[in-house]
Amino acid sequence: MFLSKVTLNMRHRMTYRLASDLYAQHRFVMSAFPDLRVTDRENEGAQDQQGVLYRLETDRQAECMFFLVQSRVEADWNRTRELHRDVLCSDQSKEDRRLFETGERYRFRLRASPTVCRVNRDPEGIRQASKRLGLYREQEQRDWLARTGERCGFEIRPEAVLITPQGKREGYKPTPGGRRPHDLVTCFMVDFDSTLFITDASLFSTAVREGVGRGKAWGCGLLSLMRA
């Protein structure tokens, strides 16, 4: 895997558009990958094929904004710099060859979109269409993270997790040919910060590589780790 930190120019108006538009963030990050295709649908497919995960961070003390990006192939940030002139200030990339072992502890940050799937049934018990709902209560979010950890090979202490709501973010996806107004995309986000304990190294490695939870196209799912 490759990890990148891409710092943005806080004096450029496009930086503030990126901060407020999920789809603009998606397009900006994916511009660094050579297999990016023209149509929006193929754009999102390229993200899956190349294992791209990202998160937009704001450092208020340093007064800077930056993307953290993980991918299976090395990003070409010079390509992004050509397409988005004067927006990208600097970029740093490295290859990550970490091998995880059961029993290791890591401090982590995860921006996720905690949801649950509800299924409505008619009086006769016949299954109806399911609906995915956001989890907005803090205890529900802690429980979601604990369940997700079980599936992804790690354990946490739910009561020790710092939860920072990011609210519902929006973006505007152009329609093919521009024949109708842009489609609105939304994603409810929460930041989780705590310490985890690896219970299954194989499951955990897959979770780190493929991302955690939903909303990966919109800046969720990247599990950032530091040895505890």
For residue 27, the domain's CATH number is 3.30.70.1200
> Tell me, what CATH number does 155's domain have?
3.30.70.1210
**pLDDT tier at 183 (50, 70, 90 boundaries)?**
confident
Q: Which amino acid is at 2?
A: F
pLDDT value at position 164? Answer: 96
DSSP secondary structure letter of residue 217:
G
**pLDDT tier at 42 (50, 70, 90 boundaries)?**
very low
The residue out of 95, 119, 147 marking a domain boundary is 95
* Residue 100 counted as domain residue: no
Which residue is listed with tokens 């950032």?
224
Are 212 and 141 in a shared domain? yes
* Residue 49 counted as domain residue: yes
Region 144-173: mean pLDDT is 94
- Report if pTM > 0.85: yes
Are 189 and 219 in a shared domain? yes
Quick one: which of 3, 10, 19, 16 has its CA closest to 219? 19
DSSP secondary structure letter of residue 214:
S
The residue out of 95, 113, 135 marking a domain boundary is 95
Are 91 and 113 in a shared domain? no
Q: What is the mean pLDDT of the chain?
A: 88
Q: Quote the domain boundaries for residue 118.
A: 105-227
- The 8 Å CB, 24+ separation contacts for 209-213 are 209/1, 209/51, 209/72, 210/51, 211/53, 212/110, 212/112, 212/148, 212/152, 213/110, 213/112, 213/113, 213/114, 213/115, 213/148
Region 128-145: mean pLDDT is 87
**pLDDT tier at 50 (50, 70, 90 boundaries)?**
confident
Pairing relation of β-strands 115-121 and 127-134?
antiparallel
Are 83 and 176 in a shared domain? no
Q: How far apart are the first and last CA of the chain?
A: 21
Rounded to whole angstroms, what are the CA distances from 197 to 62, 114, 204, 212?
31, 20, 10, 16
The total number of structural domains in the chain stands at 2
More confident call, 127 vs 224: 224
Are 74 and 125 in a shared domain? no
Are 137 and 78 in a shared domain? no
